[in-house]
Amino acid sequence: MVILDTDHVSLLEHADHPLQERLSKRLSGLTEAEVATSVISYEEQCRGWLGALAKAKLVKDEITAYSRLIIQLRNYCAINVVPFDERAAVELQRLKSAKIRVGTMDLKIAAIVLAREATLLTRNLRHFIKVPGLKIEDWTRE
What are the pLDDT digits (tens) for 1-54?
A: 999 999 999 888 877 888 888 899 999 999 999 999 999 999 999 999 899 999
Nearest to 46 by CA among 24, 68, 14: 68
Please give the CATH superfamily to which domain 2-38+81-137 belongs.
5'-nuclease (3.40.50.1010)
pLDDT score, position 138:
94
| C-alpha span between 86 and 62 (Å, rounded) | 37
